[in-house]
Amino acid sequence: MAKRLTQVLGVDIGTQSTKIAALRAGKDGASVTALGMTPTPEGTADHTGIFDPQTLGAMLKSLIVEVHAGVRHLVLCISGQSAVVVRILEVPKMSDADLAQHMQWEIERNVPFAESDTVSDFRPVENPALAATDNMEVVMAVSPRSAIETVLALIKAAGCKPAAIDVEPLGLGRVVQMCHGGDLAQKNVCVVHIGHSTTSINMYRQGVLAFPRTVPLGGSMLTQALADAFSLTVAEAEEKKRQEAAIPEAAAEAGFTAPGATVQAEFEPYTPFGEESGEGAGEAATGEPKPAEEPAAPAASDQVFQALQPQLEEFIAELRRSIDYYKSRGGEIEEIATSGGGANLKGLDAYMSRSMGLPVSRLNPFQGIDVSVSGQAETYVSENASEFAVAMGMGLHIAYD
């Protein structure tokens, strides 16, 4: 666990960009004193974990200086399928000493890594549904020791000190609790954090983590779809996605047909007793069909959506599968909240709502928190808020841990 500090720097190193948020604890709660974002150097990290801690450390050091963060204690999010696993386990109720011994067995049983030397942590979580039973729930996080050492090397290269190494689902839970205490924290919600190469789908029961899942789908799949469809470079496709991509309102409604698609009309045989008469009746009497009209070419925006549609449908299928599985285990979901850079696709929230039959809102990690920043950081607050959800969740250690 992290030691109690009055200020920390929350760090989220993504495969496309790195975000930092400096937070200070005061008598009126946490406040944001600095924000920063910069591209993650290519080849230093991907969906499996971190590869080059020295380059990433140098990048982080420069970013801290650039935004005048003035904080040297970091809470860094560890992520990647080869770096960490987070699970919720139901175990018998027991004392703290017995639970520690039992969890060692659970950790050994649940470790998916080839490396046997691991670092782990766990904590009980409240589940009212188990209050009258002999069981309890525990959230568990396990990492290979080599992944932890890589993170520590990164922090050292940045000239900083580790306050804690944390995981994304718990950080997002802090944002739900602290920034949405009057709405999302009162409900059973699914937070969908859409990153560059992965999406985390986490269920929360009144702000408490109930089910975490990560799927290998992210914003990059949409970028690649545009690159393939329009013969663009990845950089050009990314810009096209940001500027032109939008999901039409009818995209998830019953009977929706993609723009430009043809619909075969139902065959109506000729009858001399039909109501058609006058001009054009002679043409019908011959039995010769009228020439079919050429379908109108789809507009440029419609072409962009058509290129993205298969990936969007795959994304919705994974989301539905996750929620259905959670419900099959007795869970309930009242609302979906989105965050991450991929959530900025125009029309995505409405598309998800129509597809899933649930209200969809945007997670705002700055809501209800004093933010004292200037310059570019003001733009982050107004235009890129959801992209800082994980970094803010890491920084909120000072309020919760």
Strand partners, 91: 136
Cα–Cα distances in Å, from 164 out to 124, 138, 253?
A: 19, 20, 45
pLDDT of residue 341: 94
pLDDT of residue 232: 95
* pLDDT range class, residue 294, cuts 50, 70, 90: low
Tokens describing residue 340: 């991450």
Cα–Cα distances in Å, from 330 out to 211, 324, 336, 384?
A: 11, 10, 17, 35
CB neighbourhood size of 237 (10 A): 23
DSSP secondary structure code for residue 385 in this structure:
G
> Is the predicted pLDDT of residue 213 greater than 90, yes or no?
yes
Taking residues 78-85, report their average pLDDT. Answer: 91
pLDDT of residue 116: 83
pLDDT of residue 108: 83
Burial code (b: 16+ CB inside 10 Å, e: under 16) for 364-395 equals: bbbbebebebeeebeebbeebbbbbbbbbbbb
- Do the strands 370-371 and 29-39 form a parallel or antiparallel pair, or are they unpaired? parallel
* pLDDT range class, residue 195, cuts 50, 70, 90: very high
Tokens describing residue 113: 């890594």
Tokens describing residue 228: 């393939």
Please give the CATH architecture assigned to the domain spanning 183-254+299-363: 2-Layer Sandwich (3.30)
Tokens describing residue 276: 């058609």
137-183 pLDDT per residue, tens: 999 999 999 999 999 999 999 999 999 999 999 999 999 999 999 99
Domain ranges of the chain: 1-86+143-180+365-401, 183-254+299-363
The values of phi and psi at residue 140, to 5°, are -125, 135
* pLDDT range class, residue 110, cuts 50, 70, 90: confident
Instruction: Determine which of 127-136, 224-233, 270-279, 373-382 has the lowest per-residue pLDDT on average.
Output: 270-279
> Is the predicted pLDDT of residue 226 greater than 50, yes or no?
yes
Computed over every residue of the chain, the mean pLDDT equals 87
Domain at 1-86+143-180+365-401: CATH code: 3.30.420.40
The values of phi and psi at residue 126, to 5°, are -80, 130
39-64 pLDDT per residue, tens: 999 999 998 999 999 999 999 999 99
5-19 pLDDT per residue, tens: 889 999 999 999 999
pTM, 2 dp = 0.86
238-288 pLDDT per residue, tens: 999 999 999 998 776 543 433 333 333 333 333 333 333 333 444 444 455
Instruction: Give the separation between CA 345 and CA 205, rounded to whole angstroms.
Output: 27
Listing DSSP states for 46-84 in one string gives ETTEES-HHHHHHHHHHHHHHTT----EEEEE---TTT-
Helix (H), strand (E) at residue 309: helix 300-328
The values of phi and psi at residue 369, to 5°, are -120, 140
* pLDDT range class, residue 324, cuts 50, 70, 90: very high
Answer for the pair 168, 79: CB distance below 8 angstroms, yes or no: yes
Taking residues 204-229, report their average pLDDT. Answer: 95
366-388 pLDDT per residue, tens: 999 999 998 899 999 999 999 99
* pLDDT range class, residue 112, cuts 50, 70, 90: confident
Query: Which residue's entry shows tokens 């920390």?
Result: 8
pLDDT of residue 251: 78
Same fold, 1-86+143-180+365-401 and 183-254+299-363: yes
- Among residues of the chain, what percentage have pLDDT more than 90? 73
* Sheet strand arrangement including 208-215: 208-215, 199-205, 188-194, 335-339, 360-362
* pLDDT range class, residue 101, cuts 50, 70, 90: very high
Residue type, 126: E
pLDDT of residue 209: 95
Beta strands in 173-245 (DSSP E): 188-194, 199-205, 208-215
Bigger pLDDT: 253 vs 111: 111
Q: Residue 106's closest CA among 130, 89, 119?
A: 89
